[in-house]
Amino acid sequence: MKNLAQKYGTPLYIYKFDEIKKRYLELKEAFHARKSLVCYAVKANSNLSLLKFLADLGSGFDCVSFNEVRRALLAGAKNYQIIFSGVGKRDDEIEEALKAGILMINLESEAELLRVEKIAKKLNTKARISIRVNPNIDPKTHPYISTGLDENKFGVSIEVAKKMYIMAKNSEFLEPIGIHFHIGSQLLDISPICESAKIVSKLMSDLKVLNIDIKFFDIGGGIGIRYKDEVRPNLYDYAQGVLA
């Protein structure tokens, strides 16, 4: 490391691709024999070499701006492996995402659903969408990175989500294909994730009765890493808890 710093100067960022590959494959393997798409959050690091490395491994990408979508595509990502998430999407970004034919747009509110429908109508296309459901579960992480409680104001309630899915089902320009929840980052206890999955899967079952066939069950949130003495969650237990 010191030799590299002397050669290239500082500050210098060094990426351990072997470790990144190992972590990606561990997570992918946890869902072995099931169809799964592991998506890298581009907001964490948008370095093109890193994105290309992950794209070559078969990774999907979760983006929170169209510039991130553009970078993922530039790095070799398949458009059908890109999800556009996040709050505050601009109309021009939504339009570009629809033109790019990405997998789906994660919606945060009823107002956003209406905006996406309006833009899709203007383009005379069908927007594949997912809705972020807030399961009102305490993720047991730092309050600054908690996003799964009512008080966090991310996503919509179960009741509002159901209403939105029915609106999307009845729309000529919307196609509801996914359901999404994200309860926080640096999650070291998997029980809140499993509890959230149970709540959201119940909603998914209710939607099936209404002939709304959800194809993607999207689990957001960051599995915790070790800084000092933290114990990283067992990925097999994590996957089995979700699949249950």
Check residue 149 and give its pLDDT.
46
Whole-number Å distance between alpha carbons of 2 and 94: 45
Check residue 82 and give its pLDDT.
98
Check residue 143 and give its pLDDT.
52
Q: Which amino acid does the sequence have at 105?
A: I
Kindly report the backbone phi and psi dihedral angles of residue 93, in degrees, each rounded to the nearest multiple of 5, phi listed first: -70, -40
Check residue 142 and give its pLDDT.
44
Check residue 221 and give its pLDDT.
77
Residue ranges in the chain modelled with pLDDT below 70: 138-154
CB 98, CB 119: distance < 8 Å: yes
- Closest to 168 in 3D by CA, of 77, 217, 106, 225: 106
Kindly report the pTM of this predicted structure.
0.90
Alpha helices by DSSP H, 9-90 = 17-30, 48-57, 66-74
Find residue 223's DSSP bridge partners: 187
| Cis? peptide before 11, omega within 30° of 0 | yes
Residue appearing with tokens 């119940």: 202
CB 192, CB 140: distance < 8 Å: yes
Check residue 146 and give its pLDDT.
45
Check residue 183 and give its pLDDT.
85
What are the b/e assignments for 168-202, b being 16+ CB within 10 Å?
beebebbbbbbbbbbbbbbbeebebbbbbbeebbe
